[in-house]
Amino acid sequence: MSGASSPLVSGFPTAALLTPAAQQAGRDALGAYRGMWADWVAVAATSDYQDPRLAQHLSGAAFSMVYKAVYLNKSQGLVGRGQPTLSPRVTAATPADNPTRITVIDCTDDSQWLRYTLDGKPKDDTPGGRHLTEALLLQNAGVWKVDQLLIQEIGTC
């Protein structure tokens, strides 16, 4: 690996300064972050807030937030269609030598992941957009999960 930052750990001064364990933790945490979004998209397509996939990559406050969002869609007769565009990067890992906490920053674009009524009509004419997204991932028993998730308003990145 050269002295340039790896795209997987681009928030760090240089990937060369990270231990192999920290580099692997960053890759694993990003995989869990992307897995969380894939699970959310799949569950939103049916608005089945009881789908066990939600717990695969989510815990804590992040689990509660996504669960409530899917539940609210279900109660309003809405489903999600499409796919968000992600561009996550690791910005912090602690402890540095063998991380169990990873912070991820993203500019999540949901303009192609919108809510629709059950008969296929768009919920409204809001086009979606780019949201600054911050996630804290925790490792527990070797498994990375998004534990805290903050999604800012459209236009924040």
pLDDT digits (tens, 9 = 90+) for 100-129: 999 999 999 999 999 999 998 988 878 889
Q: Which pLDDT does position 116 carry in this prediction?
A: 95
**Mean pLDDT, rounded, for 65-90:** 97
- Check residue 45 and give left, alpha or beta (phi > 0: left; psi -120 to 50: alpha): alpha
CATH number for the domain running over 15-154:
3.10.450.50
In this prediction the pTM is 0.88
Q: Using one digit for the tens of pLDDT, what is the confidence trace for 5-33? A: 334 444 444 454 578 888 999 999 999 99
- Nearest alpha carbon to residue 62 among 146, 152, 154: 146
